[in-house]
Amino acid sequence: MGTADLHIHSTYSRDATTTIRAILKQAADVHLNVIAITDHDEVRGALEACKLAYQYGLEVIPGAEISTKEGHLVALFIEEVPPIGLSLVDTLIFIGKAGGIAIAPHPFNGLPHSLNMESVVGALTNARAKAVLKGMETHNMGTQAFDSTAQKLSIYLPLAKIASSDAHVYWAIGAGRTEFDGQTAQDLRRAIENNATRPIPYDEEFSAKAIFSWVRRIALRRFGYASDTASASQPINTQKLSQSFIRKLRKK
Ligand SMILES: [Zn+2]
Ligand SMILES: [Zn+2]
């Protein structure tokens, strides 16, 4: 049995506060077998993580959280980001051509950037899009107060049930996990495609302390700081992002 967190943001997302190495270290420390790094319309961090993952004893699925015209879509097993702002169906077809699959993140909650029922059912009635849209988050730690519609509707939809953290801070990684038979990324992919995953939701309410810590880290990120670590054996600390990284982020 393996566990995965399939929705994690790194410093390649401008609103996230964890470097690639800090994500890998934390994911290993909380005993995840597989993670997906899913930055907003960005895959460079995920590809970096794929190369480093062996040092941490886990597997990384390259992915991204794509801004479609109808809302966010988590793409997995892709090395190229689809154009921003396509319809959900066209984005799914692009992901399929690139060899990937997709998960509807934080759906049906009425929040901005969330897919609604009409969009998801519309995609499922298109054979090429249906072959790619394989999962939905029934639990997203960041939107947990709004997830009940997704949980109810998931019973009727042919989509694997996924619990994810949507972590933008390092301590949230693994707070929302998906269990699957096997240990590897390919085992997980098979489980998602066969609608055979088990969501393990985060079972605590957000505490005031957690919210304060999150706000503090976002503020630090604005000033160029992030949670970082040099290696699997080094603790995670607040470090200034390097100028070369900041230049790289701008270059896109
Ligand atoms: Zn999102
Ligand atoms: Zn996200």
Residue 166 Cα to ligand 1 midpoint, Å, equals: 8
pTM: 0.96
Predicted local distance difference test score (pLDDT) of residue 73: 98
- Ligand number, closest to the Cα atom of 71: 1
Per-residue model confidence (pLDDT) at position 212: 83
**Closest ligand to 39 CA?**
2
CA atoms of 70 and 6, how far apart (whole Å): 21
75 alpha carbon to ligand 2 midpoint, in Å?
11
Ligand with minimal distance to 13 CA: 2
Residue 242 is predicted with a pLDDT of 93
**Closest to 64 in 3D by CA, of 34, 109, 95:** 95
**pLDDT score for 209:** 76
* Ligand located closest to 141 CA: 2
- Give tens-digit pLDDT for 174-229: 999 999 999 999 999 999 999 999 999 988 777 777 788 888 998 999 999 999 99
User: What confidence score (pLDDT) does residue 208 get?
Assistant: 75
CA of 73 to the centre of ligand 1 (A): 7
Q: How far apart are the first and last CA of the chain?
A: 39
Other Cβ atoms less than 10 A from the Cβ of 50: the count is: 18
Q: What was the pLDDT predicted at 202? A: 87
Cβ–Cβ under 8 Å, residues 10 and 23: yes
The overall average pLDDT reported for the chain is 95
The secondary structure of 101-168 as a DSSP string is EEEE-STTS--TT---HHHHHHHHTSHHHHTTEEEEEEEEGGGGGG-HHHHHHHTTSSSEEEEE--BS
Ranges of residues in the chain whose predicted pLDDT is under 50: none
C-alpha dihedral (150, 153, 155, 160), degrees to nearest 10: -50
Per-residue model confidence (pLDDT) at position 24: 98
pLDDT for position 145? 86
pLDDT in tens, 90-104: 999 999 999 999 999
Using CA atoms, how far apart are residues 13 and 65, in angstroms rounded to an integer? Answer: 10
Which residues have beta carbons under 5 A from ligand 1 (an ion)?
A: 72, 105
